[in-house]
Amino acid sequence: GAWPRLAMEASELWVGFVGAGRMAGGLVRGLLQAGKVPASNVLASAPSDKNLDAWRELGCRTTHCNLEVVHRSTVVFLATKPHILPGVLEEIRPAVGSHHIVVSLVAGVTIQTLQRLLPPWTKVLRLMPNLPCVVQAGAMVFSRGSNAGDEEATLLKSLLSSCGLCEEVPESYIDIHTGLSGSGVAYVYLFAEALAEGAVKMGMPGALASRIAAQTLLGAAKMLLETREHPAKLRGDVCTPGGTTIYALHQLEKGAFRATVMDAVEAATNRACDLAKD
Amino acid sequence: MSVGFIGAGQLAFALARGFTAAGVLAAHKITASSPDTDLPTVSGLRKMGVNFTVSNKDTVKSSDVLFLAVKPPIIPFILEEVGPDIEARHIVVSCAAGVTISSIEKKLSTFCPTPKVIRCMTNTPVIVREGATVYATGTHADVEDGKLLEQLMASVGFCTEVEEDLIDAVTGLSGSGPAYAFTALDALADGGVKMGLPRRLAVRLGAQALLGAAKMLLESEQHPGQLKDNVCSPGGATIHALHFLESGGFRSLLINAVEASCIRTRELQHLADQEKISAAAIKKTLLDKVKLESPSLSVASASKVSLFTNKSKKN
Over residues A163-175, the mean pLDDT reads 95
Pair (A236, A105) in one structural domain: no
Domains of chain B by residue range: 3-166, 176-256
Superfamily name with CATH number, domain B3-166: NAD(P)-binding Rossmann-like Domain (3.40.50.720)
Residue, of A166 and B304, whose pLDDT is higher: A166
Residue B212 touches partner A, C-beta closer than 8 Å: no
Whole-number pLDDT of residue B306: 40
Q: How confident is the model at residue A5 (pLDDT cuts 50, 70, 90)?
A: very low
Pair (A74, A137) in one structural domain: yes
Pair (A129, A27) in one structural domain: yes
CATH of the domain at A260: 1.10.3730.10
Mean pLDDT (chain A) is: 92
Q: Is residue A86 part of a domain?
A: yes
Pair (A189, A263) in one structural domain: yes
Whole-number pLDDT of residue A35: 87
Domain limit, last residue, from A108, A143, A170: A170
Q: What is the pLDDT of residues A188-242, one digit of tens each?
A: 999 999 999 999 999 999 999 999 999 999 999 999 999 999 999 999 999 999 9
Residues facing A164 on adjacent strands: A138
SS3 B298: coil
User: SS3 helix, strand, coil % of chain B, rounded to 5?
Assistant: 55, 10, 35
Q: Is residue A85 part of a domain?
A: yes
Cβ separation of B252 and A233 shorter than 8 Å? no
Whole-number pLDDT of residue B130: 95
Q: How far apart are CA B115 and CA B113, in angstroms?
A: 6
CATH number of the domain at B176-256, please? 1.10.3730.10
Q: Is residue A250 part of a domain?
A: yes
pLDDT, block means (10 residues), chain B with 315 residues = 95 94 94 92 94 94 96 90 93 94 93 94 93 96 95 96 96 96 96 94 97 96 93 92 94 96 90 64 48 40 39 41
Q: Is residue A6 part of a domain?
A: no
Q: Is residue A143 part of a domain?
A: yes
- In chain A, the residue whose alpha carbon lies closest to the alpha carbon of B230 is A230
Are B175 and B26 within 8 A, CB to CB?
no
Whole-number pLDDT of residue B73: 86
Are B156 and B19 within 8 A, CB to CB?
yes
Q: Is residue A10 part of a domain?
A: no
Over residues A122-139, the mean pLDDT reads 93
Pairing of strands B51-53, B30-33: parallel
Cβ separation of B256 and A254 shorter than 8 Å? yes
Domain limit, last residue, from A170, A195, A223: A170
Query: What is the number of structural domains in chain A?
Result: 2
Whole-number pLDDT of residue B275: 65
Pair (A28, A160) in one structural domain: yes
Whole-number pLDDT of residue B274: 73
CATH of the domain at A118: 3.40.50.720
Cβ separation of A253 and B252 shorter than 8 Å? yes
Which residue segment(s) compose the domain that A125 sits in?
Answer: 15-170
Q: How far apart are CA B92 and CA B96, in angstroms?
A: 12
Pair (A200, A265) in one structural domain: yes
- Best probe of the B interface among A227, A245, A254, A266, by most B CBs < 10 A, is A254
Across A165-199, b (16+ Cβ under 10 Å) vs e yields bbebbebebbbbbbbbbbbbeebeeeebeebbeeb
Q: Is residue A3 part of a domain?
A: no
Domain limit, last residue, from A145, A170, A195: A170
Pair (A49, A139) in one structural domain: yes
Pair (A51, A129) in one structural domain: yes
Write phi, then psi, for B113 (nearest 5 degrees).
-65, -40
- Residues of A with CB below 8 A from B248's CB? 256, 259
Out of B222, B226, B243, the one facing A259 most closely (by C-beta) is B243
Give the ranges where chain B is alpha helix by DSSP (H): 10-22, 40-48, 56-61, 75-82, 101-109, 143-154, 167-170, 177-194, 199-219, 224-231, 237-247, 250-273, 279-282
Whole-number pLDDT of residue B298: 41
Pair (A158, A189) in one structural domain: no
What is the value of pTM for the model shown? 0.78
